Chain A
Amino acid sequence: MARKATIRNFHQAKWDEPVIFELSNKGERGILFPEIEDEIETLIGDGFATIPENMRRKTPPALPELSQMQVLKHYLRVSQHTLGADLNIDIGQGTCTMKYSPKINEKLAGQSKITELHPAQDESTVQGILEIIYKLDLFLREISGLDRFTFQPGGGGQAVFAIVSMIQAYHASNGESQQRDEIISTMFSHPSDAAAPTVKGYKIINIYPNEDGLPDIEALKEAVSERTAGLLITNPEDTGIFNPMIKEFTDIVHKAGGLCGYDQANANGILGITRAKEAGFDMCFFNLHKTFSSPHGCGGPATGALGVTKELVDYLPVPLVDCHNSNYSFNYNLPKSIGKVRAFYGTIPAILKAYSWIMNLGSEGLKEVSQVAVLNNNYLLNKILEIPGASAPYAKGRHRIEQVRYSWEKLYHDTGITTEDITNRMVDFGFHMWSSHHPFIVPQPFTLEPTESYAKAEIDEYIAGLKQVVKEAYETPEKVKNAPHRSVVHKINHDSLDDPERWAVTWRSYLKKQKK
């Protein structure tokens, strides 16, 4: 008999798995180490003679004690309580670009020719990995139009921080770092675009959107002055709307003497379509763990690939990778370098996976990635607008790029069901649905980004799930309000997490507070 339902009868794995400490049995061992050689023991003794009493650990750490299969079993069960992109139709994590991370790239990154390299090895012994770093640099130069890339930042946030550090160093070299103490960003850009500059002591001016959902250019004109150090902006913003005035934005900031940094976390819809260079940016970054397919890893490891124009190369963190006559080497000779933001050269597995992904697709493939991502998004947009209670604020009747920020405001007014409630009930169908960064400018927001990785039928399945939850919101709201019902656990009690008397970030803290 054929499967009729478009909505699956999903239930997440539910192992009722204890916290690992509860599985501990004194004396069990998970792994053994080699024994010390007799000759060394005879010559050296137990190794503690030279360690003064006050530096010898007295009580062993109270780590759990489990045998090997038991550790494996525990973590495998816990993994089943995690909904990775490989398992679900992960179009509900907007801005995250939950595309396919090809397994061939995992296989390549797991080779000992990558994993067993020490970063301080003689350059002659690591020509292979240096070649990959250098070539990825060349690819991103072409994709962005900028002149030099570093992969040192370990994520988008750290790339923003590196950009801000360079902006400051640039103005300092012109004797203007005291004068220029303001950074401009927009409310629909990533929070890190505002937060990272505060670390360097900058005052932030946030540009709010106008009624079209675009950052208000009049507000920008008012915001610039001789105090402007720079602009940090995402485009398309999280609304999925491309700012057609983006070049005017960078012109305005340049005229005021500031530098422009492009947060290209949202690049998936524009590869080979439009570039940082022509939009007038001095610096940009891409998330290799978003557009360029490196896996998200529950929140890293990751890379914020940072590019600059040739005027700013000297400010980059060291080292860069140079190529002369097919010989690759490190270049630490950047006279105005900000120093370092992270040890060594970057998240090497992410760099390798991005390189391999680009080498598999080529320029035609990259353009196809973007075009299909945009097609998928507009197809999804069309369907969402048919759902009662849903809307897509701004840009009415217009197309979007790779994602859309929607609103459940009507649904909320009709039923009292919030976007958070919908998220919790979508979980019962094996879906994520993310709301928005704070603050919620769009009321009751939800942000969906299909990418190029999901089939039409999968997008249809997601929509069917959403429709079902909306139906319940109107007809049986209690079911949605009390969700989830088919997940790993039931509704979580959050209030203890904000109470110093009750919060517990570790098991030992939890046990202490339980006793009280």
Chain B
Amino acid sequence: MDKKKKAFVHPYIPNSVPDVKAQMLKEIGVKDINELYEDIPANLRFKDKLDLPEPFLSEYALERHVMEILAKNKTCQEYLNFLGGDTWQHYVPAICDEINSRSEFLTAYAGEPYEDHGRFQALFEYASMMGELLDMDVVNVPTYDWGQAASTSLRMAGRITGRQEVLVAKNISPDRFLIIKNYCEPVVSVKLVEYDPKTGMLDLEDLKSKISSKTAAVYIENPSHHGIIETQGEKITEITHKNGAISIVGADPISLGVLTPPSQYGADIVCGDIQSLGMHMQFGGGLAGYIATRDEVKYVMEYPSRLFGITSTIVDGEHGFGDVMYDRTSFHDRVEGKEFIGTCSALWGITAGVYLALVGPQGMQELGQLILQKSQYAMKKISEIKGVKIPFQTSPHFKEFIVDFSSTGKTVKEVNKALLKKGIFGGKDVSSEFPELGNCAVYCITEIHTMEDINQLVQALKECLS
């Protein structure tokens, strides 16, 4: 039997139905769809068929195809995970997934604060809750990630002070340093400040030697990329301000239920990632950056991001929302606007708001304490393994800590390969990023690790190193 070529009708393309297509073409007086492309010169017309794989037109076959590929992945549920560093495994409440998969939030974009009033309110509430956590009055609609937030914070400081040099701590995330370097240079130059090899905290003498009247800002992360809590915050911001520079601190918000918010030791701009507040890791795809400042005109005017403010409407008692100082953004002025603004990570901002509302003040405190206790337990048990050292054991830590394998005769790579065979993702290898530390890995312990999980790790390490 002769198989007539079926017209291609697709569930995502309602007007692919031939009769409808024909009717529409007739209405606009066009015989062939190609006439609609007449402005494209012949030499630019792609005449071949795109060389793409045969499609799975049926949803069932598509699902099966993708699931087959995904089956090759091993997850942090199947393996015991101790990796951290710029994205972390925290518990994601079911309500967070419920809200950020709602069609209304998932598929909205750039409507007005009328028909999209909810989008504005959800992001205003996110900013408000972050404001309480950070003890600051202005928080932006989220940017791409911590790296962008830190970079923009540094450029803001450059514009506010009129200076073109920034000092950045060496114990921040190496990837963030790359992002900062590319975003700041060539307009603003980036210099590194050393950390104390004994404490792992910022080397104040090095800071004093490098800071000058050319410095726009000093940027540290607290806790550092190594998990060390910087206890010299007041001194650092004092030195910074004495030189007329702006103090910027990067902080993981999940630590702020138990740790002092940076604004309380003098930070002018605080930034970080909100991934730990309700976003799954998603192989690094759950990132969103926050920037926060005091409510001072000179700071507010420098944000490139949108800032959603609450206001009134013509009806008494109604809350309305809208953009604060929209004219400062590149949406308003493509050249004179601050940096640039576009689509970033709004849905993750809404999710973080849901997370903070669920967890509340008591929950943030309990969560922080759990992380402190569990990570300290892990540090203690690991330090008791023969040959293994915790180089900064005398400094306070939050969530992450460095484990030094130099005296074991095995590289981190070898240890992690052996751990993998035992169903464990060992700590992140930092031996090439921080060679001065030696053969080191950063281990991450969160509220998701039970005592049994930690004991399992310790036992596995013992076996790998014996």
Q: Is there contact, CB below 8 Å, between A83 and B284?
A: no
Contacts of B98 in A (CB 8 A): 72
Q: Is there contact, CB below 8 Å, between B138 and A509?
A: yes
Q: Is there contact, CB below 8 Å, between A382 and B83?
A: no
Asked whether A82 and B318 contact (CB < 8 A) given A119-B284, A199-B183, the answer is: no
In this assembly, does B127 line the interface, its C-beta being within 8 Å of a C-beta of chain A?
A: yes
Q: Is there contact, CB below 8 Å, between A20 and B331?
A: no
Task: Name the 5 nearest CB pairs between A and B, nearest first.
Answer: A344-B284, A362-B55, A157-B342, A348-B285, A81-B118
Contacts of B127 in A (CB 8 A): 505-506
Write out, one digit per residue, whether chain A residues 348-374 have a CB within 8 A of any chain B CB (1) or not (0).
111110011011111111111101101
In this assembly, does A2 line the interface, its C-beta being within 8 Å of a C-beta of chain B?
A: no
Determine how close the nearest CB of chain B comes to the CB of A142; give it in whole angstroms.
5
Determine how close the nearest CB of chain B comes to the CB of A443; give it in whole angstroms.
17
Q: Is there contact, CB below 8 Å, between B97 and A110?
A: yes
Contacts of A396 in B (CB 8 A): none
Q: Is there contact, CB below 8 Å, between A272 and B87?
A: no
Q: Is there contact, CB below 8 Å, between A340 and B121?
A: no
Asked whether A47 and B363 contact (CB < 8 A) given A57-B260, A204-B335, the answer is: no
In this assembly, does B276 line the interface, its C-beta being within 8 Å of a C-beta of chain A?
A: no
In this assembly, does A174 line the interface, its C-beta being within 8 Å of a C-beta of chain B?
A: no
Give A206 to B74 CA distance when docked, in angstroms.
50
Q: Is there contact, CB below 8 Å, between A126 and B357?
A: no
Contact of B77 among A81, A116, A119, A247 (CB under 8 A): A116
19 cross-chain CB contacts under 8 A:
A60-B364, A71-B357, A76-B99, A78-B122, A84-B104, A125-B425, A129-B70, A298-B108, A344-B86, A358-B52, A360-B59, A424-B114, A438-B333, A456-B14, A456-B20, A490-B318, A493-B311, A497-B326, A510-B310
Contact of B55 among A204, A361, A438 (CB under 8 A): A361
Write out, one digit per residue, whether chain B residues 341-382 have a CB within 8 A of any chain A CB (1) or not (0).
111111110100110111111111111111011101100100
Q: Is there contact, CB below 8 Å, between B312 and A496?
A: yes
Q: Is there contact, CB below 8 Å, between A60 and B362?
A: yes
Q: Is there contact, CB below 8 Å, between A121 and B74?
A: yes
Q: Which of B43, B315, B342, B417 has the most CB of A within 10 A?
A: B342
- B341 nearest CB neighbor, chain A only: A157
Q: Is there contact, CB below 8 Å, between B311 and A48?
A: no
Give A138 to B373 CA distance when docked, in angstroms.
47
In this assembly, does A308 line the interface, its C-beta being within 8 Å of a C-beta of chain B?
A: no
Asked whether A117 and B364 contact (CB < 8 A) given A62-B132, A507-B131, A508-B131, the answer is: no
In this assembly, does A329 line the interface, its C-beta being within 8 Å of a C-beta of chain B?
A: no
In this assembly, does A406 line the interface, its C-beta being within 8 Å of a C-beta of chain B?
A: no
Give A190 to B186 CA distance when docked, in angstroms.
24
Contact of A82 among B117, B130, B300, B450 (CB under 8 A): B117
In this assembly, does B459 line the interface, its C-beta being within 8 Å of a C-beta of chain A?
A: no
Give A185 to B340 CA distance when docked, in angstroms.
15
- A456-B20, A507-B124 known, 15 other contacts, Cβ within 8 Å: A28-B360, A34-B370, A36-B370, A79-B105, A80-B118, A82-B108, A82-B118, A83-B104, A85-B109, A247-B43, A300-B288, A350-B285, A494-B311, A505-B127, A506-B137
Give A376 to B116 CA distance when docked, in angstroms.
25
Q: Is there contact, CB below 8 Å, between B147 and A343?
A: yes
Determine how close the nearest CB of chain A comes to the CB of B398; give it in whole angstroms.
8
Q: Is there contact, CB below 8 Å, between A165 and B182?
A: yes
Q: Is there contact, CB below 8 Å, between B28 and A379?
A: yes
- B372 nearest CB neighbor, chain A only: A47
- B29 nearest CB neighbor, chain A only: A382
Contacts of A131 in B (CB 8 A): 69, 72
In this assembly, does B1 line the interface, its C-beta being within 8 Å of a C-beta of chain A?
A: no
In this assembly, does B320 line the interface, its C-beta being within 8 Å of a C-beta of chain A?
A: yes
Q: Which of B145, B181, B350, B373 has the most CB of A within 10 A?
A: B373
Contacts of A118 in B (CB 8 A): 76, 81, 83, 87, 89, 281, 283-284, 425
In this assembly, does B407 line the interface, its C-beta being within 8 Å of a C-beta of chain A?
A: no
Residues 67-88 of B at the A interface (beta carbon under 8 Å): 67, 69-77, 79, 81, 83, 85-87
- B135 nearest CB neighbor, chain A only: A61
Q: Is there contact, CB below 8 Å, between A30 and B76?
A: no
Contact of A108 among B63, B85, B333 (CB under 8 A): B63
Write out, one digit per residue, whether chain B residues 31-49 have a CB within 8 A of any chain A CB (1) or not (0).
0010111111101111001
Contacts of A409 in B (CB 8 A): none
Q: Is there contact, CB below 8 Å, between B131 and A116?
A: no
Determine how close the nearest CB of chain B comes to the CB of A390; give it in whole angstroms.
16
Q: Is there contact, CB below 8 Å, between B59 and A104?
A: yes
Contacts of A85 in B (CB 8 A): 107-109
Asked whether A297 and B347 contact (CB < 8 A) given A71-B357, A195-B339, A503-B309, the answer is: yes
Q: Is there contact, CB below 8 Å, between B37 and A427?
A: no
Asked whether A64 and B85 contact (CB < 8 A) given A30-B358, A107-B63, the answer is: no
In this assembly, does B175 line the interface, its C-beta being within 8 Å of a C-beta of chain A?
A: yes
In this assembly, does B434 line the interface, its C-beta being within 8 Å of a C-beta of chain A?
A: no
Contacts of B51 in A (CB 8 A): 142, 363
Q: Is there contact, CB below 8 Å, between B396 and A66?
A: no
Write out, one digit per residue, whether chain A residues 110-149 have a CB within 8 A of any chain B CB (1) or not (0).
1111111111111011111101100000010011000000
Give A342 to B178 CA distance when docked, in angstroms.
9
Contacts of A99 in B (CB 8 A): 12
Q: Is there contact, CB below 8 Å, between A191 and B363?
A: no
- B253 nearest CB neighbor, chain A only: A61
Which of A222-230, A253-261, A429-437, A468-476 makes up part of the contact surface? A429-437
Contact of A378 among B30, B67, B186, B283 (CB under 8 A): B30
Q: Is there contact, CB below 8 Å, between A487 and B114?
A: yes
In this assembly, does B208 line the interface, its C-beta being within 8 Å of a C-beta of chain A?
A: no
Determine how close the nearest CB of chain A comes to the CB of B122; give it in whole angstroms.
5
In this assembly, does B54 line the interface, its C-beta being within 8 Å of a C-beta of chain A?
A: yes
Asked whether A365 and B10 contact (CB < 8 A) given A47-B372, A375-B24, the answer is: yes
Contacts of B372 in A (CB 8 A): 47-48, 51
In this assembly, does B216 line the interface, its C-beta being within 8 Å of a C-beta of chain A?
A: no
Contacts of B4 in A (CB 8 A): none
Q: Is there contact, CB below 8 Å, between B360 and A30?
A: yes
Contacts of A372 in B (CB 8 A): 13, 15-16, 21
Q: Is there contact, CB below 8 Å, between B45 and A40?
A: no
Q: Is there contact, CB below 8 Å, between A75 and B354?
A: yes
Residues 252-281 of B at the A interface (beta carbon under 8 Å): 256-261, 265, 280-281
In this assembly, does B103 line the interface, its C-beta being within 8 Å of a C-beta of chain A?
A: yes
Determine how close the nearest CB of chain B comes to the CB of A104; give it in whole angstroms.
5
Contacts of A393 in B (CB 8 A): none
Asked whether A113 and B257 contact (CB < 8 A) given A19-B124, A506-B131, the answer is: no
Q: Is there contact, CB below 8 Å, between B350 and A298?
A: yes
Asked whether A79 and B175 contact (CB < 8 A) given A19-B121, A299-B346, A363-B50, the answer is: no
Contacts of B111 in A (CB 8 A): 82-83, 93, 432
Q: Is there contact, CB below 8 Å, between A196 and B340?
A: yes
Q: Is there contact, CB below 8 Å, between A79 and B73?
A: no
Write out, one digit per residue, whether chain A residues 370-395 have a CB within 8 A of any chain B CB (1) or not (0).
01101110110010000000000001
Contacts of A356 in B (CB 8 A): 62, 66
Determine how close the nearest CB of chain A comes to the CB of B349; give it in whole angstroms.
8
Residues 254-295 of A at the B interface (beta carbon under 8 Å): 270-275, 278-279, 287, 289, 295
Q: Is there contact, CB below 8 Å, between B231 and A128?
A: no
Write out, one digit per residue, whether chain B residues 304-341 have a CB within 8 A of any chain A CB (1) or not (0).
00011111111100111111111100111111010111
In this assembly, does A448 line the interface, its C-beta being within 8 Å of a C-beta of chain B?
A: no
Give A251 to B425 CA distance when docked, in angstroms.
51
In this assembly, does B144 line the interface, its C-beta being within 8 Å of a C-beta of chain A?
A: yes
Q: Is there contact, CB below 8 Å, between A346 and B257?
A: no
Q: Which of B116, B332, B354, B366 has the most CB of A within 10 A?
A: B116
Q: Is there contact, CB below 8 Å, between A19 and B125?
A: yes
Contacts of B212 in A (CB 8 A): none
Asked whether A63 and B364 contact (CB < 8 A) given A131-B72, A295-B106, the answer is: yes
Q: Is there contact, CB below 8 Å, between A489 and B114?
A: yes
Q: Is there contact, CB below 8 Å, between A82 and B119?
A: yes
Asked whether A497 and B311 contact (CB < 8 A) given A81-B117, A125-B420, the answer is: yes
Determine how close the nearest CB of chain B comes to the CB of A144; give it in whole angstroms.
10
Q: Is there contact, CB below 8 Å, between A33 and B370?
A: yes
Write out, one digit per residue, whether chain A residues 203-240 have a CB within 8 A of any chain B CB (1) or not (0).
01010000000000000000000000000000000000
